[in-house]
Amino acid sequence: MKTTSLFKAAGSRSLWKIVPVMVFFVLWELAARYGPFGGTAIFPSFSAVLLEMAALFKSGVMIKNLAATLFRVLIGLFLGTISGIVIGILMGWQEKVYRSLSPIISMLYPIPALGWLPLLMLWIGINEMLPIAIISIGVFFPLCYNTAAGIRSVDQEMIKAAHILGASEMRILFEVILPNAASQIFTGLKLSSGMSWRTVLAAEMVAIPTGIGALIMKAESLVRVDIIISSLVVLSLMCLFFEKILGVVEKKWIGNWSGNAQD
C-alpha cells in the first residue's frame, strides 16, 4: 500500500509539472492558427517552430552556432567561477581581506555585465575574447558574493571545535567551512550559469558574427520569427540543462559530505 501511495504521489507531482506546459503549447498552437496573426510569419505556431528547429539542426546551422556559443559560455563560466570562488573564499575566510575588498565588490556588483560592453570593446576589441570577458564578469560577482556570504555564515563554534581538536587551517577550510557553505556557493553557481547564457546572447547580438545571438540577428533582418523563437527555445533548454547538472553535482557534493560527517 505504501509503495502504491508513493507511485500515486510521484505521478501527481509529474502531472502538475507536465500539464501546464502542455496547455501552454496547445494555447500557443491555437493562437497562432486562429488568432489575429494566424497564418502569418509574425507569429508562427508551435509546430512550425519545431519543424524549423529540426531543419536548422539537420542543416548544421544550429549546431555550428550553438557550438560557438557553448564554447564561449564554458570558457567564461570557468574563468568567472574560479576567480569568484577563490576571491569569495578569501573574503569569507580572512576578515582583513573582506574589509578591503567588500567596498569594491559592493560598488561594482550592481553594474550589469553588459554595462561593461562599451569599455571592453575599446579595451580588447571586437573578437572572441569579448563575450568571454563579459561572461566572466557576469559570473564573478554573484558567485564571489554568495561564496563569501556562505563562508561567513558558517557556525563559528564548529570552527573553534575543529581548532581545539587540532585540525589545520586547510583541513578546516575543506572539511568544515566549504561543506557548510556549499548550498550558498551552488546558489551562486546557478545564478551565474543562467547569467552566462543571457550575457553571451546579448554580446553576440551586438558584436559577434557567430553564435545563437548572431543567428537571431540574422533571422530578424530576414523577418524569420520561426528561427528567432527556435533559437530562444534552444537557449532556454541549455540554461535548464546547466541548472539540472549543477543540481545533481550539488546533491552529490552535499550527500558525500553528509556521509563523511556521519562516519
Q: What is the pTM of this model?
A: 0.83
- Tell me, what DSSP letter sits at residue 122? H
Per-residue exposure over 134-152, b if at least 16 CB sit within 10 Å of its own CB, e if not: bbbbbbbbbbbbbbbbbbb
> CB within 8 A of 25, min separation 6: which ones?
46
d(CA 51, CA 230): 9
Tell me the three cell numbers of residue 67: 557550438
- H or E element that contains 55: helix 46-59
- Look at residues 84, 119, 76 and name the one whose alpha carbon lies nearest to residue 101: 84
Tell me the three cell numbers of residue 13: 507531482
Instruction: Decide: 215 and 227 in contact? Cβ < 8 Å.
Output: yes
Q: Where are the alpha helices (DSSP H) in 94-211?
A: 95-108, 117-123, 129-152, 156-164, 169-172, 178-207
Angle at 76 between CA 72 and CA 80, to 5 degrees: 170
> Average pLDDT for consecutive 10-residue bins of the chain (263 residues)?
48 68 87 74 87 94 94 94 93 89 89 88 88 92 90 82 77 80 86 86 83 92 91 91 86 64 48
